[in-house]
Amino acid sequence: MNLLDMGKSKPRAKKSKRGVDFKKIKRKVGRKLPPPKNFTDTSIKSKAIILPEQSIATEKVGLAVDRKGLTLRELFQQTSHHNARTRKAALLGIKDLMLKHPLELKLHKFAIVEKLRERICDNDKVVRETLYQILKCVVFPCLMEELTRPIMSLLLAYVFNAMTHMAADIRLMAFKFFELIVLNYPSSFTLHTQQVFDNYIDILRNYQIYLQDRSNLKNALAGLERCLSFLVGKARECDRRSVLDFDERRCLHSYTSEAQNDFADIFLAVNKFEDLVPALVNCFQESILLFRGMSKNDALSFDCLLCTVGCINHSVELFVATTNKFLGCHGHVSQTDGEPDVVKIDMLGLLKKLWESFPISQPHNVGEKEDERYFILNVKITETFLHLFQWIDDNTFPIEKFLRFIECFLLGKVDCGALNKSLLEKNLSTVLPFFPRFISQSIRSWRVPLLKAFTLAFMDCKVDSPACLLYLNAIEEMILPTSSCSMLLCSDPEVLCFLVDWIHKLPKILQSVGDRHTNISEAVLKLILSIGQSSMLNSLLALEFDHIQLLLKEFYVIRRVEDAITYGPFLKLPLDCQELAICCLYYFSSLSIDLLESLCSCCLNPSMDVFIVIVW
């Protein structure tokens, strides 16, 4: 390229002449565009017409409303609102309306229950808890006489749906709702026994998933315990009715009693125990490991353990009841149509892990509160195996640790020392009803130590405590010759000394308790009368019965100094107790002079009832 050409500028290209389609208008920022030429104005202008009598309030005249002025229909609509607070406010509004207008609940009970049940599966915990309180405090109490199967079916459908919900808190809360339903309408459980147990078994098998929510887990276990307790009560009622049916209708061979029909429902539950009991035992073992590993044991964890053991105990009691029901007189199950073999369930085998871990030992350096908790757990487990004691084989289940615990229990001892006496008396009702049968079935080498512990506990028992009646009932069963236990004990020379101590204690109880607790005085007098009626002539029992008249002297007159007489508690007792005391006198072989003088002093007292004197 030439250097001269480099300095020259390039010639401009010629612009092509083309037609212009439209003229571009430059707009400034912020200017409003003018409307297009074909624009149509669609705005509407109107003026409100206000009438003096037009108001929303006038439309609700005569309708039931809550404190905010909302009707039942409006509250129903708000229960499905997307906001949890609005749903809760709607439920509280329904509660307020039902309390202000109870008739609305009775007139619209199906509609109200049908709408409320939708909140059983609500995602918000507060909403579900609000619904629970409404059902518990308002709906069920007001509809107590109108709680029918159709109404409960409305609720149960949603409760069973909640039991299989994906959210763990909704599932656990469903069992709390179910417990409330069973409490108010017990037959709802027997109508759905298998379905309920299947859901409970699923919860127990996945126990660790629900441990984070111990409060609802405790409610679920308490619900299961209530259901099993209801079946236990039903089984006892069936046994009572079956005896009445046999006595009153034994001539009607084709008659089928209500007790037999009800027991069929109970047996459906027992069929589930092969799955339920192992799940409960595994649940208990996992819980006790976590409980012992806690630096500070909380009350909710202990309550879960206690409910679990309670469920096991009720299951065993039901198993024993059904076994005894179908067990024939020759030790085999009666083969009646529709009555399967309950002995096939190896209950002891299902409880073997629980037996191996008994007694539950507490970690070192725990407080007094924790000691009491472990003691209560061991007592509940003891009750479970006392139901099955007649089937326990010492070769398979070493029984010595079990007997040693019962001995320590009666003596008020635990691993760390003495036991709180009030706590001991509260738990005596668990063991003492089993004691007579238990002592007759226990091995001979342990019979004397156990009876010695029982006697020491009886002598140390407060005469005005409820535990005194438990001891008296156990002594009656062991002394009177109507039971196999009494026949076994009275024939054992090593045991007779304990019987003597029990009989000599009875007059002392009469004098100590006085007229403050007439139920205890009546129980003692009935026992003395039964001993006198059942003792054979010249037997040890008859001789000891004659000896107690010396101790009974102060029951009538404590002291006589010339004309001043200090009377015993006899004159202050009710007439029926006085009559029992007089009947006891008939069975003494002879009356001592001191006792006769005391009796004469009572007869001459002006406060003595004439009828009692005539009977005397």
Confidence bin at 296 (pLDDT 50/70/90): low
Three-state secondary structure of 5-47: HHCCCCCCCCCCCCCCCCCCCCCCCCCCCCCCCCCCCCCCCCC
In a domain, 131, yes or no: yes
Counted domains in the chain: 1
Tokens of 347: 């209950």
| CATH for 90 | 1.25.10.10
The bridge status of strand 413-414 relative to strand 564-567 is: unpaired
Q: State yes or no: pLDDT of 246 exceeds 70.
A: no
Q: For residue 435, what are its two tokens?
A: 């004691």
Could you tell me which of 576, 555, 577, 574 has the C-alpha nearest to residue 566? 555
Alpha-carbon distance values, 95 to 22, 65, 90, 524 (Å): 72, 11, 9, 53
172, part of any domain:
yes
Name the token pair of 131. Answer: 């619904």
**pLDDT: which is higher, 110 or 329:** 110
Inter-CA distances, 45 with 35, 41, 212, 355, 415, Å: 20, 11, 62, 87, 91
pLDDT tier at 153, thresholds 50, 70, 90: confident
Q: DSSP letter at 571?
A: G
Residue 98's CB is within 10 A of a number of other CB atoms, namely 22
Percent of the chain having pLDDT more than 90?
Answer: 14
Burial of 145 (0-12, 13-18, 19+ CB in 10 A): exposed
At residue 163, does pLDDT exceed 70? yes
* Local structure of residue 71 (DSSP, 8 states): B
Whether 342 and 322 have beta carbons less than 8 Å apart is answered as yes
Instruction: Please check whether residue 104 is in contact with residue 75, taking contact to mean a CB–CB distance below 8 angstroms.
Output: no
Task: Kindly give, in sequence order, each residue whose CB lies less than 8 Å from that of residue 72, ignoring residues fewer than 6 positions away.
Answer: 64, 94, 97, 104, 108, 112
Report residue 251's pLDDT band, with 50, 70 and 90 as the boundaries.
Answer: very low
Q: How far apart are CA 242 and CA 248, in angstroms?
A: 10
Closest CA to 130 of 142, 119, 139, 121: 119
Q: Quick one: pLDDT at residue 331?
A: 45
Backbone phi and psi for residue 594, each to the nearest 5 degrees, phi listed first = -60, -40
Q: What six digits make up the tokens of 144? A: 């107590």
Report the alpha-carbon distance of residue 43 to residue 303 in Å, rounded.
70
More confident residue, 141 or 611: 141
pLDDT at 571: 83
- Is 557 among the domain residues? no
Q: Helices in 101-148 by DSSP H: which ranges?
A: 102-107, 109-116, 125-134, 140-142
What is the per-residue pLDDT across 298-350, written as a single tens digit (0 to 9) for each?
Answer: 778 888 889 999 999 999 998 888 887 766 433 444 444 444 445 457 888 88
Report pLDDT for 484.
55
Residue 127 has pLDDT above 90, yes or no: yes
* Cis preceding-peptide flag for 34 (omega within 30 of 0): no
Reported as a single tens digit per residue, the pLDDT across 165-187 is: 888 889 889 999 998 988 888 88
Let me know if residue 307 belongs to a domain.
no
| Residue 610 belongs to some domain of the structure | no
Q: What is the dihedral of CA 521, 523, 528, 531, to 10 degrees?
A: 180
**Which helix (H) or strand (E) segment is 414 a member of?**
strand 413-414
Joined tokens for residue 313: 């105990």
The tokens of 571 are what?
């004159």
> Residue 107: what pLDDT?
87
Q: What is the DSSP-derived secondary structure letter of residue 364?
A: S
Instruction: Tell me the per-residue pLDDT of 528-539, one tens digit each, with 9 for 90 and over.
Output: 998 888 877 777
Model confidence at 3: pLDDT above 60 = no
pLDDT at 337: 43
Phi, psi at 565, each rounded to 5°: -120, 130
Q: Is the pLDDT of residue 607 over 80?
A: no
Largest CA distance in the chain: 168
Q: Mind listing the pLDDT tens digit for each residue in 193-232?
A: 888 889 899 888 887 777 777 788 888 888 899 888 888 8
Query: In this model, does residue 244 exceed pLDDT 90?
Result: no
Q: Are 489 and 442 in contact (CB under 8 A)?
A: no
Lowest mean pLDDT among 156-170, 241-255, 407-421, 525-539: 241-255
Instruction: Check residue 362 and report its DSSP letter.
Output: P
Indicate if the pLDDT at residue 362 is higher than 60. yes
Tokens 């909710």 sit at which residue?
300
Q: What is the mean pLDDT of the chain?
A: 80
Residue 161 in domain: yes
**Residue 323: how many other CB atoms lie within 10 Å:** 18
> What does the pLDDT read at residue 20?
61
Range of the domain at 135: 62-187
The sign of the CA dihedral 261, 268, 200, 303 is: positive
What is the pLDDT at residue 52? 56
CB 197 within 8 A of CB 269: yes
Q: Which three-class secondary structure string do you get for 168-229?
A: HHHHHHHHHHHHHHHHHCCHHHHCCHHHHHHHHHHHHHCHHHHCCCHHHHHHHHHHHHHHHH
* Separation between Cα atoms, residue 226 and residue 200, nearest integer Å: 13
Q: Which pLDDT value is given to residue 315? A: 92
Band (381; pLDDT cuts 50, 70, 90): very high
The one-letter amino acid at 143: L
What angle (nearest 5°) sits at the alpha carbon of residue 454, between those of residues 452 and 456? 70
pLDDT of residue 532: 86
The Cα 129–Cα 133 span in angstroms is 6
Q: Provide CB contacts within 8 A for 611, sequence distance 6+.
A: 575
Q: What is the pLDDT of residue 418?
A: 65
pLDDT given at position 380: 92
